[in-house]
Amino acid sequence: MKFDMLENILQEDGIVFLSYGGFLTQSLIAALTDALEQEVQKKDLSVKISTNIFTIFIELAQNMMNYAKSKTDAKRYEAKGLIVVGTETANNQKYYYIISRNLIDAEDKERVENGLKTIEGLDKEELRKLYREQRKAGKDKHNKGAGIGLIEIARRCDKVEHNFEDQGDGHFYFTLKTMLHKEQGE
């Protein structure tokens, strides 16, 4: 791929913050968060928007680390994925978006899908109540439960979209896109 083509794609899609694809570690997530923080400061975003972007970014990156599977080595799973933070216009509204994509197995797909079904269609107040209930109950506190993290993401954005692409080998590409209105709190 030619780099000028990639640059044109990134400019056309409105990617203004950060794009990363590859192996993820906790220290790399911290470095990416620092880079994101610098970009947010350049854009002079409101505290509310920037906090929501950071929280969603960290949740998605941690989900990628927890669920990502390498097709090449069934015994050793590597956290590989893609995460993008940018802007776009949809339905005459300007949005910030955070997208993550990674490979998960069928068991994890079911767990994540159930978590997403739980939060679909809930308004902000219902999400807040569900979040508090889950925190009090201690559910999904330290495991891959597809619970409280997804609720936190849904609470902080205006829209969540997801997709599972079957790879035919017991694995799925899981894509999660969150969108926040640019005007929110600005």
Which two structure tokens, joined as six digits, stand for 10?
């990134």
What is the band of 113 on the pLDDT scale with cuts at 50, 70, 90?
Answer: very high
Question: Distance between CA atoms of 123 and 126, rounded to whole angstroms?
Answer: 5
Tens of pLDDT along 67-111? 765 444 554 445 667 888 888 877 888 888 898 888 888 888 998
Residue 26 has pLDDT above 90, yes or no: no
Number of Cβ within 10 Å of residue 36's Cβ equals 21
Mean pLDDT of the chain: 78
pLDDT of residue 186: 44
Tens of pLDDT along 119-144? 988 999 999 999 998 888 875 554 54
Q: Considering only CA atoms, which of 81, 77, 87 is closest in space to residue 176?
A: 81
pLDDT of residue 139: 56
Residues 145-150 have a mean pLDDT of 73
Q: Considering only CA atoms, which of 91, 92, 115, 106 is closest in space to residue 176?
A: 115
pTM of the model as a whole = 0.79
Computed from CA positions of residues 10, 14, 18, 22, in that sequence, does the dihedral angle turn out positive or negative?
Answer: negative
DSSP 38-94: HHHHHHT--HHHHHHHHHHHHHHHHHHHHH---TT-SSS---EEEEEEEEEEETTEE
AA identity, residue 141: K
